[in-house]
């Protein structure tokens, strides 16, 4: 088919691409892994270079994973917001004696999980703060209780920071603690606590956080034990293009060795309520990623990781539905989960996070000319929605999610689950020296 005007316009567009960018994109489209320096250069792309970068990422997405855009029906359960760490980006955590500190008992966690299961969820994501006075085996015992009550639910939990915390509290090795979690029913780990895997950056935004070396060790150990993980990045604060590229290379190298990463999830920094934004002690701190940076993160991630981590997830919680849709044009192929409750980003000032209904996912995916598909945590397709025939999930019929499921702001004001009461009980029940 001859389309002379289009061909002429495309030729003119491509003639404006810089030589360096053209060579990098050509390598990626030819199936080669791009280098750290090449990725860093693409992170600085603008104008026509950015337009063509985005198109190249979309082409690789289509070639690698096709036109199906997936989502998972899940629920987040952040069972405590009390934490011994004070990460500068985290507005979720509270001190152990604070009035807004809470700790959900196991029976409440199970109730929330059962409610999610009854509404069609296949996964619960369990993450929380690092609470002082907590039994080091609590994560394991919580999984055992969840699995005993709801054996069909996939447990996606706990962050590398939490696993390290449990290991330190119990004296168990990281391998032994991960083995205990697996035996208790953990099906996969969130690859969070990553932020930027460059220690000089970590020391600025989260001093005392798990180190890059320890994070890599823990993730690889999980994979060795047959526990898959996701992978993440948090960007838009003090990092630069080179730091981002180094982070992606670390993830790629892990995947080359283990094959245990299910997806990559870029998470832009939510600035509004982050403690470091109020302290004003870091002169170079930015107010989160720009729209252009978000799109470049998806596109460069697709090019750098495509041969090894095929699934790239947009974050509707961080970016909102509209920008997330655009991410589907820049290499992404997954919309994440319904969540039902999201506390960590919400506390930081994100405008979304309560619930994304399955029908909303399907509508947004179809608006972009793609095919919706429900998946499991590990990316097994549960149902592909080839036609536009009306499908109604139980979650679609929830009219007032905050009233039905509660919210983070309501939870921190409840008197029922005060952490200081839990902490007091733990101290009183501890054996006397």
Over the chain (433 residues), the average pLDDT of each successive run of 10 is 85 93 97 98 97 97 98 95 82 71 94 97 95 92 98 97 96 98 98 95 91 97 98 96 98 98 95 76 89 97 98 94 96 96 60 83 96 97 88 90 84 82 64 50
CA distance 346 to 348: 5
CATH topology (fold) of 67-429 = TIM Barrel (3.20.20)
Taking phi over 0 as left and psi of -120 to 50 as alpha, with beta for the rest, 142 belongs to alpha
The number of CA neighbours under 13 Å toward the Cβ of 268 is 28
Cis peptide, bond prior to residue 250, ω within 30 of zero: no
Q: Which residues contact 137 (CB under 8 A, 6 or more apart)?
A: 166, 170, 180
Give the number of other Cβ atoms within 10 Å of residue 266's Cβ: 29
Backbone angles phi, psi at 137, to 5 degrees: -95, 10
What pLDDT, on the 0 to 100 scale, is given for residue 415? 82
Distance, CA of 85 to chain centre: 20
Q: Which residue blocks in 66-195 are alpha helix, DSSP H?
A: 106-118, 138-149, 160-170, 174-184
Euclidean distance between CA atoms 96 and 61, whole angstroms: 45
- Per DSSP (E only), the strands in 297-353 are 334-337
Using the structure block, give the residue that is written with the tokens 């499908």: 391
Q: Determine the pLDDT at residue 275.
A: 78
* Strands laid side by side in the 123-126 sheet: 74-77, 123-126, 154-156, 186-188
Give the HSE-up count for residue 75: Cα atoms under 13 Å, Cβ half-sphere. Answer: 23
* Nearest-angstrom CA–CA distance, 346 and 350: 5
In this predicted structure, what is the pLDDT of residue 354? 78
- pLDDT at 353 (0 to 100): 63
Residues 6 or more apart in contact with residue 108 via CB below 8 angstroms:
79, 417
pLDDT at 52: 97
**Which pair of structure tokens corresponds to residue 412?**
């921190």
The full set of domain ranges for the chain reads: 4-60, 67-429
pLDDT value, residue 347: 56
- C-alpha distances (whole Å) from 250 to each of 217, 316, 343, 384 are 12, 25, 28, 33
> What pLDDT, on a 0 to 100 scale, did the predictor assign at position 96?
62
């Amino acid at each position: 088919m001859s389309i002379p005007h289009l061909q002429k316009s495309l030729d003119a567009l491509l003639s404006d691409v810089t030589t360096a960018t053209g060579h990098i994109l050509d390598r990626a489209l030819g199936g080669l892994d791009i280098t750290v320096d090449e990725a860093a250069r693409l992170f600085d792309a603008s104008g026509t270079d950015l337009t063509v970068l985005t198109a190249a990422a979309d082409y690789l997405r289509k070639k690698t994973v096709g036109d199906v855009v997936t989502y998972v029906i899940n629920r987040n359960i952040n069972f405590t917001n009390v934490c011994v760490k004070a990460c500068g980006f985290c507005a979720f955590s509270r001190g152990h004696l604070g009035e807004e500190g809470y700790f959900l008992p196991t029976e409440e966690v199970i109730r929330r999980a059962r409610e999610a299961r009854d509404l069609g969820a296949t996964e619960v994501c369990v993450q929380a703060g690092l609470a002082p006075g907590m039994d080091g085996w609590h994560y394991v015992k919580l999984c055992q209780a969840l699995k005993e009550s709801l054996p069909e639910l996939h447990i996606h939990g706990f962050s590398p920071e939490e696993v390290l915390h449990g290991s330190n509290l119990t004296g168990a090795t990281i391998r032994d603690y991960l083995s205990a979690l697996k035996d208790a029913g953990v099906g996969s780990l969130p690859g969070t606590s990553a932020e930027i895997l460059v220690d000089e950056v970590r020391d600025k935004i989260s001093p005392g956080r798990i180190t890059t070396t320890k994070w890599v060790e823990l993730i690889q150990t999980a994979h060795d034990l047959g526990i898959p993980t996701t992978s993440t990045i948090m960007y838009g604060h003090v990092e630069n293009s080179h730091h981002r590229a180094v982070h992606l290379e670390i993830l790629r190298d892990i995947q080359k060795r283990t094959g245990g990463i299910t997806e990559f999830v870029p998470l832009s920094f939510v600035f509004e309520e982050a403690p470091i934004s109020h302290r004003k002690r870091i002169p170079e701190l930015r107010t989160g990623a720009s729209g252009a940076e978000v799109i470049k993160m998806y596109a460069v991630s697709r090019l750098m990781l495509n041969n090894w981590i095929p699934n790239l997830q947009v974050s509707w919680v961080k970016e909102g539905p509209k920008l997330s849709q655009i991410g589907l044009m820049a290499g992404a192929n997954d919309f994440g989960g319904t969540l039902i409750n999201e506390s960590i980003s919400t506390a930081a000032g994100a405008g979304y996070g309560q619930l994304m209904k399955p029908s909303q996912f399907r509508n947004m995916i179809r608006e972009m000319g793609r095919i919706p598909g429900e998946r499991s945590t590990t990316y097994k397709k549960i149902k592909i929605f080839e036609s536009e025939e009306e499908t109604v999930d139980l979650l679609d019929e929830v009219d007032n999610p905050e009233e039905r499921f509660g919210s983070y702001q309501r939870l921190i004001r409840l008197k029922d689950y005060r952490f200081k009461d839990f902490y007091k009980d733990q101290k009183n029940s501890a054996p006397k020296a």
